[in-house]
Structure 1
Amino acid sequence: MHISFLIHNAYGIGGTIRTTYNLASTLAEQHDVEIVSVFRHRDEPMLAPGGKVRLRHLVDLRKDSPEYAGELPGYAVPASVFPAAEGRYQQYSALTDERIARHLRGLDCDVVVGTRPGLNVHIAQQARRGPVRVGQEHLTLGTHSGPLKLALRTHYPRLDAVTTVTEADARTYRKLMRLPGVRIEAVPNGVPAPALEPADGTGKWVIAAGRLAPAKRYDVLIRSFAKVAAERPDWRLRIYGAGAERAKLRALIDKLGLYNHVFLMGPANPLDPEWVKGSVAACTSSLESFGMTIVEAMRCGLPVVSTDCPHGPGEIITDGTDGLLVPVGKPDAIAAGLLKLIDDDELRRRMGREALKNAARFDPAHIAERYEALFTDLTGRGALRGSLHRTRGSLLSSAFKTRDASRAAFRRVRAA
C-alpha cells in the first residue's frame, strides 16, 4: 500500500510526532509511506523518521529559505476550511487551506491519514475520491469544545474510519458522534523498546516526565514526595519536561524545603537513558488522552504509580501487577503508592519485570499490524464499493440503452 500521513508540523517534538514517526517507520518496512507536514520551521526534524519514510512539507516558515511563505498574501487571511474551534487554528490561513487542498486533490495513494481534528476535516472535505480516509484522534472527544464537536459531527461522516488511542474514547465516539458507516477503532500508540538494558530496581530515584502543564498535576506529585522524603530521605524525585508551570513548581519545591530531594531536570531527548536510572515512575495527571510516558517507563522496566484518571492509565497498567493505580489529586494516596514500592525491594523488582513484559504489547510492530489490518479491510471495502459502483453503472448504462432503443422503435412504428 501507499500510505500518506498528514501532520501539523513534523519538524517539532511532541507525542503525536513521535507516535506518527514510530508507526510510519514500522509500516514502511512493508509499504510505501510518506509523512506530509503542513509546516516546516527548521532545516532538520527534531525526531528523525525511519530511513524508508519520505518527509515533505507544504508551507515553509524558515525565513532564510527561498520558499519562505510567511509574507505571502494568503498567509495573513484566516482559514475557512480548518475549523476555527481547533486549538491551532490561528496558525492556519487561506494559504494553508489552498495548499492542503491542492495536496489532497493530487494525492495518489491507497490510504490518507490525518493526525489532528482540523486536518481530518480537511481530508473529509478535500481528499479526492479513491484513497481510504482515516482520521486519528490523539486527544479525546471530551476535551474538544462544543463548536469543534459540531464541526467534527458535520464533516467526519465523509471519513472511512476514526481511530482513538483508548477503548474508552472509542466508546464515547460511538455513543455521541453518530457517524453511520464510519468505522471507529481503538488503536493505542506504539512505543519502541529501548536500546538499553532495563532498570535493575536499585537506583533510589522516582522519575516523572511530561509537559510542565496544569493537567499533569506536578504540584500534587511534589506535595506527595514531601511525605515520601520524610520517611525515606535517601530517595529522590526527578521531573523531566518544560512548560509554563516551571516557575510555580520551583517555588513550591523551595517552600516545602525539597530542594535536595526534587529536581526539575528540563527536557530530555531521548528519555530512555533517564528512565533506566530510576526504579519507580510516577504519573499524577488529572487527565490523559493515552499515557505515552507510562508505556515508555514500563518498556524500561519501571513499575508506575499513576492516578487512575480517565482513559489512559487504566488501560495500560494492571493494578497490583505491573504498577499501582491511585485516586486523582490525592497526595496521601500517591505517597502511599510510592512508599509501597520504595519499601519493598522484591515487590518493586517483580512489578518492574511484569511492566517490561506487559508493555511489549505496545511495540510499534504490533500497533502497525493492527493499522495494516484496518487499512487492508478498508481498502478492500473500497475496491468492493468501486466494483459495485461500476456494476451499477454498467447496469444503468444497459438499461438506458434498452430504453433508448425501445423509444426509437416506438417512434419508427408511429412514423409508419
Structure 2
Amino acid sequence: MRISFLLHNAYGIGGTIRTTFNLAEALVPRHEVEIISILRHREEPNFSLDPRVRLRPLVDLRTERDDPRHLRPARVFPAAEYRYSQYSALTDERIAHCLATLEADVVIGTRPGLNVHLALQGPREAVLVGQEHLTLDNHPPGLRNEMRRVYPRLDALTTVTHADAATYQRKMRLPGVRVEALPNSVPPPALPPADPNAKIVVAAGRLVRVKRYDLLIRSFARVAAERPDWQLRIYGKGEERDRLRALINELGLYNNVFLMGAAPAMEAEWVKGSIGASTSSFEPFGMTLVEAMRCGLPVVSTDCPHGPAEIITPGKDGRLVPVGDQHALGEALLDLVQNDQLRASMSQGALVNSRRYDPVPIIEQAERLFTELHEVKASGRRRASLGARVGARLVNRGHLVRDAAFAAAVSTMRTVRRSNR
C-alpha cells in the first residue's frame, strides 16, 4: 500500500514526531511510505529517519516565513487548535493542493487540525485515518465541536490509550468511524540494558509547566539528603529552564540535580541511569516511560490521565503516585534508591513488560486496521461501479424496450391506414 502521514513539523522534537518516524520506519519494508511535513525550519530532522521513507515539506519557514499568504490567517485549520498561530492561508493552500494531488491508499493525520483538513479535503478513494496523540478531554469545546462536525468523514480514528478510545466512543457522535486504540511503539534498544546499580535517576521531556519538573526537583531533595551520592538528570529544553535552574540553586542541589539539555538520542542516556521518573500533571500516553522501561529502568510516575496507568504495573516495573503529591513521590523514589534488590527486580520487570510496545505487534495491528479499511473501501467502489454499470444497462434496455414498442405501434398504425383506403 501507499501510505502518507501528515505531520506538523518533522524537523522538530516531540513524542508525536518520534512515534510517527517509528511507525513509518516499521511500515516501509512492506509499503511505500512518505511523511508530509507541513512546516520545515531547518535543513535536517532532529531525529534520524530511514532513507526509504520519503520526507516532503510543504512550507519552508527559512525562505517563506514572510510570504504575504503566510501572514494571513488560516481558514481551514481550526482556530481552536493550539497550533493555529503557526498556520496560515499559505498552509491552507499547500495542504489543499497536496491532498488534491495525492496518490495514496491510506492517509494519516497526526493532530486535530490536520485531521480536519484530511476529513474535508482528503482523497475520497483513500482510507482516511485521524490520529489522536493527546486526549479528547484535553481539547477546548470549540475544537471538539469542529471535530464532531467533520470527523464523520474519516474512516477511522486511533488513540494512544484504551481509556481515550472509550472516551471518544462515549462522548463523540462519529457514525461509521472506526475508533481503535493504537499505542505508540518503541523499538528495542541497540544498547545493553541499564545497570541497576547506577546511582542516577533520569527524566526527559520538554521543560514546560505540565511536566512538573519543579515537583521532581523538590522531591529529589529528600533523596539527596539521605543519599548524597545519587544524581537526578533532566533532559530537555523549554521555557521552564531558568526557573528550574533557580530552584536547584535555591535548594542547594547543584551537586545532585543537573539540567542536561536536549538529547535526540535518549537511549544512550537512559542506560546510564537505574530509575526513570515522570511527574506530569497530564500525559496522554507517556512515550518516555516506555523508552525508559525498554532500557531496563523501573519508572516512578504520577498517576495522571491517561497513559501511565496503562503502561506501569505498580510493584512490578515501577510505582504510581498521586498527581502533585511531593511527599509520595519522594517516598517512592527513596524506596527504590535504598533497596538494591527491589530495583534490580523491577528492572527485569520493566524489560519484560515493555515488550508489548515493541513495533512488531503494534505494526501488525496498524497494518490489519489499514488493510481491512482499504478492502472495505475497495469493495464499496466495486459495488458502486457495478451498480453504475447495471444501472446503465437497465437504462439502455429501457430505451430498447421503448423503441421496440414505438416501432410496433407505428407498424400497426400503418396497417390500419392501408386497410381503410
Fold shared per TM-score above 0.5: yes
Name the SS of the counterpart of 1:9 in structure 2.
coil
- 2:295 paired with 1:300: yes
Q: Deviations 1:63-111 (Å, cap 9, x if unpaired)?
A: xxxxx33343322221111111111112211121111111111111110
Q: Deviations 1:318-374 (Å, cap 9, x if unpaired)?
A: 111111111111111111111221111111001101101111221223222111111
Are the counterparts in 1 of residues 9 and 39 from structure 2 also a CA contact under 8 Å? yes
Task: Find 1:399's aligned residue among 394, 403, 407.
Answer: 394
Are the counterparts in 1 of residues 46 and 264 from structure 2 also a CA contact under 8 Å? no
State how far apart, in whole Å, the 2-side matches of 1:230 and 1:48 are.
40
State how far apart, in whole Å, the 2-side matches of 1:127 and 1:16 are.
21
Q: Deviations 1:219-241 (Å, cap 9, x if unpaired)?
A: 11112112222222222211111
Amino acid at match of 1:10: A
Name the SS of the counterpart of 2:21 in structure 1.
helix
Task: Find 1:315's aligned residue among 310, 314, 322.
Answer: 310
Name the SS of the counterpart of 1:244 in structure 2.
coil
Q: What is the number of residues matched between the two proteins?
A: 411
- 2:54 paired with 1:59: no
State how far apart, in whole Å, the 2-side matches of 1:96 and 1:270 are.
30
- 2:65 paired with 1:70: yes
- 2:233 paired with 1:253: no
What is the Cα deviation at residue 401 of structure 1?
A: 2.7
Amino acid at match of 1:193: P
- 2:5 paired with 1:9: no
Percent identity between the aligned chains? 60
Name the SS of the counterpart of 1:37 in structure 2.
strand
1:98 matched to which residue of 2? Answer: 93
Name the SS of the counterpart of 1:290 in structure 2.
coil
State how far apart, in whole Å, the 1-side matches of 2:57 and 2:244 are.
37
2:224 matched to which residue of 1? Answer: 229
State how far apart, in whole Å, the 2-side matches of 1:12 and 1:250 are.
24
1:218 matched to which residue of 2? Answer: 213
What is the Cα deviation at residue 409 of structure 1?
A: 4.6
- 2:379 paired with 1:384: yes
Task: Find 2:132's aligned residue among 129, 132, 137.
Answer: 137
State how far apart, in whole Å, the 1-side matches of 2:405 and 2:91 are.
57
What is the Cα deviation at residue 289 of structure 1?
A: 0.8
State how far apart, in whole Å, the 2-side matches of 1:44 and 1:236 are.
33
What is the Cα deviation at residue 255 of structure 1?
A: 2.2
Task: Find 1:288's aligned residue among 283, 290, 293.
Answer: 283
Q: Deviations 1:253-293 (Å, cap 9, x if unpaired)?
A: 22222222222222112111211111111111110010011
Name the SS of the counterpart of 2:8 in structure 1.
strand
What is the Cα deviation at residue 48 of structure 1?
A: 2.3
Amino acid at match of 1:127: G
2:176 matched to which residue of 1? Answer: 181
1:22 matched to which residue of 2? Answer: 22
Name the SS of the counterpart of 1:42 in structure 2.
coil
1:170 matched to which residue of 2? Answer: 165
1:116 matched to which residue of 2? Answer: 111
Unaligned runs of 5+ in 2: 414-421
State how far apart, in whole Å, the 2-side matches of 1:407 and 1:89 are.
60
State how far apart, in whole Å, the 2-side matches of 1:285 and 1:270 are.
22
> Where does 1:296-375 land on structure 2 (aligned, <5 Å)?
296-375=291-370
Unaligned runs of 5+ in 1: 63-67
Task: Find 1:276's aligned residue among 261, 271, 277.
Answer: 271
What is the Cα deviation at residue 215 of structure 1?
A: 0.9
1:65 matched to which residue of 2? Answer: none
Provide the alpha-carbon RMSD of the alignment: 1.5
Amino acid at match of 1:7: L
State how far apart, in whole Å, the 2-side matches of 1:90 and 1:220 are.
31
2:43 matched to which residue of 1? Answer: 43
Amino acid at match of 1:130: E
State how far apart, in whole Å, the 2-side matches of 1:317 and 1:398 are.
62
State how far apart, in whole Å, the 2-side matches of 1:52 and 1:20 are.
14
Are the counterparts in 1 of residues 202 and 276 from structure 2 also a CA contact under 8 Å? yes
Amino acid at match of 1:261: N
Amino acid at match of 2:164: D
TM-score where L is the length of structure 2: 0.94
State how far apart, in whole Å, the 2-side matches of 1:219 and 1:39 are.
32
Amino acid at match of 1:177: M
Q: Deviations 1:362-412 (Å, cap 9, x if unpaired)?
A: 122322211111111110111111122122222322332344344445555
- 2:190 paired with 1:195: yes
What is the Cα deviation at residue 53 of structure 1?
A: 0.6
Amino acid at match of 1:202: N
